[in-house]
Amino acid sequence: MSENLQSLSFYERPNVEKSIIPIAGGVPVGLEGMYSAELGIGGAYGSWGESYNNLRLPSLVEHRLGMPLGKDDILNLSELGFEYRQHIHDLDEAQHLELEVEVGARLLRKALEVCGWNASEVEGVLIGMSGPVSSDYISRISLLAGIPETALKVSVHKACDGSMGALHLALNPHLSKPGQINIAEHLRGRKVLVGGIEGLSRFICDAKDKNALQLFGNGMGVIGVVPGANMKFLAGRSYENYDQEGLLAVRMSYPHSRLQALGNSLVDVVQEDADHIRVAGLMNEPKNGDSIEMAGLMGMVKLFVRTGVQVVEDVYRDYQALMDKLGTSGKSISMGIVHHANYKINALKAKHLSKLGINFPMPWLLNDFGNVSAASNIIAFLRQLKNIHPGDHILFDGFGAGTYYDVMTVSMG
């Protein structure tokens, strides 16, 4: 299910660079870089805030709820694949903004260092975020990291699917719609940073949902991609399936037209200015104004597994057809990099896929983060870099509230 470092918090990993951001008495932040010379690809990932193990977490949840948890309210988080997650203490709006801008800029700078890129060479920054701290967040962190203002900036708000939606846009030219810039064509052969940055501790701090307060935490990850060079698109689908029952409701802290004509796309694509595109997904929102409301763990299984298996199957069949066309029918997918909603969801997806004759390793690696939404696929990918070789075919599987799916197969190196 996991790596051998299971008993360690993220900050205790041997290669994590730790520091303190001097805001509100000091906020811990950690970053780890990963690079594969074989593939010519790398990046950085990390977290910020205090690390809480499963024994300490209930006290924080009770503080945020303002009431004690009952015995039956405490989740068996180890069973779900989570041992630690990082949370910040209570901050005001200005402190939240200052902190997350600094965190994001440090992440981009670390990814540039690991990849051996100059900031001036970067021509695209695509970041998935569930609840952005500001509407111009990517512009702010890019500027602070020294990236040119002319670099294309794409913010993707499709809940936990955000980073995979961003990667898909960077790689798949078939996603472009008439009248919109073809992002993949525009970025092909150029140096691009793609990832997810999720300040979920800030986003859920005023929530009353006991499950959400235990499952989510802060996480971030960015990779350096040259579309068509160190990562090549093979087959993929971007799919929307409106959550009619509102099983997972999330407050949209980003602009959206809120048009609910279900025959049309649930996603707004808006060009904010010459160099900034916002991709915003429609969400069910909590009726009481909270940041998040979940229907329970079985509700999440119902929401993500059935449709998620179907989308993966469709992409897998497309992949097989492409391999047949290229005369490489024996080529197989080396591994799946799947969003880490929780271990039970992914294990059930793997079981259903196996019944369809679809089998590939789906590594579970993020016990030291909790559910970090759009950051999870990127972190899992970076931790698997040492096991990926040139020519390997990888399947990325993203899914998030709304409900949104971005699944793609790529060739590495």
Which 3 state secondary structure label does DSSP give 74?
Answer: coil
- Choose among 257, 287, 259: nearest CA to 270: 257
Strands 191-198 and 122-128: parallel
- Tens digits of per-residue pLDDT, 27-76? 999 999 999 999 999 999 999 999 999 999 999 999 999 999 999 999 99
pLDDT for res 301? 87
> Residue 187 — very low, low, confident or very high, per pLDDT cuts 50/70/90?
very high
Q: What is the mean pLDDT of the chain?
A: 94
> Residue 197 — very low, low, confident or very high, per pLDDT cuts 50/70/90?
very high
pLDDT > 70? residue 339: yes
pLDDT for res 216? 97
pLDDT > 90? residue 248: yes
pLDDT for res 261? 53
- Choose among 220, 264, 215: nearest CA to 240: 264
Furthest C-alpha separation in the chain: 63
Q: Structure tokens of 131?
A: 């609840």
What is the distance between the alpha carbons of residues 13 and 223, in angstroms, rounded to a whole number?
20
pLDDT > 50? residue 344: yes
132, amino acid identity: P
pLDDT > 80? residue 6: no
What is the distance between the alpha carbons of residues 401 and 161, in angstroms, rounded to a whole number?
8
- Tens digits of per-residue pLDDT, 206-222? 899 999 999 999 999 99
- Tens digits of per-residue pLDDT, 68-87? 999 999 999 999 999 999 99
pLDDT > 80? residue 259: no
23-32 LR contacts (CB < 8 Å, sep 24+): 23/91, 23/95, 23/98, 23/99, 23/102, 24/89, 24/91, 24/95, 24/99, 27/88, 27/99, 28/86, 29/103, 29/106, 31/106, 31/107, 31/110, 32/382
Using alpha carbons only, what angle is made at residue 35 by residues 337 and 344, rounded to the nearest 5 degrees? 20
Percent of the chain with pLDDT over 70: 97
pLDDT for res 1? 46
Which 3 state secondary structure label does DSSP give 154?
Answer: strand
**Helical residues (DSSP H) of 172-265, grouped into ranges:** 183-187, 200-204, 210-215
Percent of the chain with pLDDT over 90: 88
- Tens digits of per-residue pLDDT, 354-374? 999 999 999 888 999 999 999
227, amino acid identity: P
Hey, what domains does the chain have and what are their CATH numbers? Answer: 10-412 (3.40.47.10)
- With beta carbons less than 8 A apart as the criterion, state whether 51 and 82 touch: no
pLDDT for res 302? 86
Burial 148-177 (b: 16+ CB within 10 A, else e): eeebbbbbbbbbbbbbbbbbbbbbbbebbe
> Residue 179 — very low, low, confident or very high, per pLDDT cuts 50/70/90?
confident
pLDDT for res 297? 80
> Residue 228 — very low, low, confident or very high, per pLDDT cuts 50/70/90?
very high
Kindly state the average pLDDT of the residues 227-245: 95
- Tens digits of per-residue pLDDT, 283-303? 999 998 899 999 888 888 888
> Residue 2 — very low, low, confident or very high, per pLDDT cuts 50/70/90?
very low
> Residue 196 — very low, low, confident or very high, per pLDDT cuts 50/70/90?
very high
Which 3 state secondary structure label does DSSP give 161?
Answer: coil
Taken in order 194, 196, 197, 203, is the CA torsion positive or negative? Answer: positive
pLDDT for res 364? 86
DSSP 238: E
What is the distance between the alpha carbons of residues 348 and 350, in angstroms, rounded to a whole number?
5
What is the distance between the alpha carbons of residues 33 and 163, in angstroms, rounded to a whole number?
18
pLDDT > 60? residue 262: no
Kindly state the average pLDDT of the residues 126-134: 97
φ, ψ (nearest 5 deg) of residue 307: -70, -35
Output the CA torsion 56→84→203→282 (10° steps).
-140
What is the distance between the alpha carbons of residues 155 and 22, in angstroms, rounded to a whole number?
27
- With beta carbons less than 8 A apart as the criterion, state whether 373 and 313 touch: no
pLDDT > 60? residue 134: yes
Q: What is the pTM of this model?
A: 0.96
